[in-house]
Amino acid sequence: MELTAHEVWSRVLERAESAVTEQSFRTWLEGTGAVGVSDGELVVEGPSQFHIEWVEDKFGGLLRELVAAVVGRPIRVTFRAAQSAPSLSFPELDLNAPQSDPVLGVSTAIPDRRRSNLNERYTFDRYVVGGNNELAAAACRAVAEQPARMYNPLFLYGGVGLGKTHLMHAVGNRILDRDPHVRVAYVSSEQFTNALVTAIQEGQTADFRRRYRNMDVLLVDDIHFLEGKERTQEEFFHTFNALHDAQHQLVITSDRPPKDMPGIEERLVSRFEWGLVADIKPPDYETRMAILRKKAEYDRLTLDDDVIDFIARSCTASVRELEGAVIKLLAYSSLTHRDVDVALARTALQGMLRPPESTHRLTPKRIQNAVAREWGVSPEALTSKRRTRELTVPRQVAMYLIRDLLDEPLVRVGNLFNRDHSTVIHSVRKVESGLEADARLRHRVEHVRSLLTDGS
Ligand code: ADP
Ligand code: MG
């Protein structure tokens, strides 16, 4: 009997449904799917790394047995997060040519995966628009409706877990919904780099170029990854030009605005600014509530308003953090067989979250940590004696923000950094004049300030 991976997995899930509690099934197993077979193993995906690790850990044994029962013999099962799939930037399999896997005897074709390598869950429908991402979302919609007409490239930037990747996939999904023949590819900058390295090693650079330059729409995620990688930047520069000249759409994301990427060549930076640059900020309280409600709706979770409110007040940093809190809460509930309510949320999320009361409590340590993170240095380095330029600026900024936000006495601030108060005065002045003269510095300092003070 020849079963597709998809069919194998449906049967496995049918059987699993009666073997685990309903809550566990809905929370953990329902969201998984088998995407295909590679090298004789069945590849099973879940919506996130955390999710799939949990599935493997708790249900791996059961699922492998069920797979063996369905297929008729034991075979390898690999679990992975949906985002990393397929790890190649483009499907390498010829989807139109079904083959039989020698080990499995099941079809290796992946019939339900027509849309290049986009995550189908990342759509505009599932994306909540708030004041924090309004411009970015509107620009993405415009690009999805009329690729390469309005903003090319579209450059989105913002911190981790704020929805850049989601929006970018939404553009691709929308374009394919309208016309499945448009060639849309999503590639992370890391994949682009790896693919280039491999192409060079194997003398396949011409092929590499053709693949990328043939796209109608190229979505390039996390471009900051290319910082300092000159050869890859060179290659990307030519890809960019080829696509742009041919009036094909590029959408690019980064954790910072183009101007703020010192390791990226000037000619690329200036191209990034040719179209529209839009930022995404952390969501405010109302938007966090709306995101949680939408998540509950789509994932069919029963979460009362007071629980949603509790999570929205407790998790302020990013959407990923919000989602992580929901997963953790559900896991806790299914393991302890307790109903989901605020009391359970408080226990389950302890340690993961700042308690709501203290959201506003800003401490010097939090400021140091936030500045260190923004500049990519360790918090310890800020208080060390080292005087390299990499450390001087963030150290001065941290002193400035501690003075500005907490009004701490100069001597106390000095102590925090193992410096005397005259150094603090000098640092604060230095930052103040820097803020006037240097837009890039101003932007970064304001970014950190908004992260620290957005407590709503
Ligand atoms: P980034 O690429 O900026 O790090 P992602 O796009 O991976 O962030 O988003 C992290 C998670 O949060 C994803 O699961 C995504 O679906 C969800 N998410 C982010 N922003 C929103 C939003 N505005 N509405 C709904 N879900 C969102
Ligand atoms: Mg991302």
Q: Is the CB of 291 under 6 A from ligand 1?
A: yes
Ligand 1: centre distance to CA 260 (Å): 23
- pLDDT value of position 360: 59
- Nearest-atom number in ligand 1 for the CA of 132 is 23
pTM equals 0.62
Ligand 1: centre distance to CA 127 (Å): 8
The protein residue with its alpha carbon nearest to ligand 1, atom 16, reads: 166
Judged by its nearest atom, the ligand closest to the C-alpha of residue 325 is 1
> What is the C-alpha separation between 375 and 412, in angstroms, rounded?
23
Ligand 2: centre distance to CA 164 (Å): 5
Ligand 1: centre distance to CA 252 (Å): 16
Q: Is the CB of 377 under 6 A from ligand 1?
A: no
> What is the C-alpha separation between 266 and 245, in angstroms, rounded?
19
Ligand 1: centre distance to CA 15 (Å): 32
- pLDDT value of position 154: 98
Map tokens 């936000």 to a residue.
405
Q: Is the CB of 162 under 6 A from ligand 1?
A: yes
- pLDDT value of position 85: 38
> What is the C-alpha separation between 137 and 370, in angstroms, rounded?
26
- Nearest-atom number in ligand 1 for the CA of 294 is 25
Mutate to test the pocket of ligand 1, among 165, 166, 225 (most ligand atoms within 8 A of CB): 166
Interhelix angle for 205-213 vs 230-245, to 10°? Answer: 40
- pLDDT value of position 454: 67
Count how many Cα atoms sit within 13 Å of the Cα of residue 234 in the half-sphere of its side chain: 6
pLDDT in tens, the chain (456 residues): 567 888 889 889 988 887 777 767 877 888 889 888 766 789 998 887 777 887 888 888 889 888 888 887 778 899 988 764 333 333 332 333 333 333 333 333 333 334 568 998 999 999 999 999 999 999 999 999 999 998 999 999 999 999 999 999 999 999 999 999 999 999 999 999 999 999 999 999 999 999 999 999 999 999 999 999 999 999 999 999 999 999 999 999 999 999 999 999 999 999 999 999 999 999 999 999 999 999 999 888 889 999 999 999 989 889 999 998 998 898 888 888 899 999 999 988 886 655 444 445 788 999 999 999 889 888 999 999 888 888 999 999 999 999 988 888 888 899 999 999 889 999 999 999 999 888 889 889 988 988 887 653
Tell me the two tokens of residue 21.
């509690």
Ligand 2: centre distance to CA 311 (Å): 22
346-371 core/surface letters (b: 16 or more CB in 10 A; e: else): bebbeeebbebeebeebebebbbbbb
Judged by its nearest atom, the ligand closest to the C-alpha of residue 280 is 1
- pLDDT value of position 322: 93
Strand pairing category for 33-38 and 41-46: antiparallel
Q: Is the CB of 319 under 6 A from ligand 1?
A: yes
Own/partner long-range contacts of 303-308 (Cβ < 8 Å, ≥24 apart): 303/340, 304/340, 304/341, 306/341, 306/342, 307/340, 307/341, 307/342, 307/345
- pLDDT value of position 195: 92
Judged by its nearest atom, the ligand closest to the C-alpha of residue 298 is 1
- Nearest-atom number in ligand 1 for the CA of 121 is 16
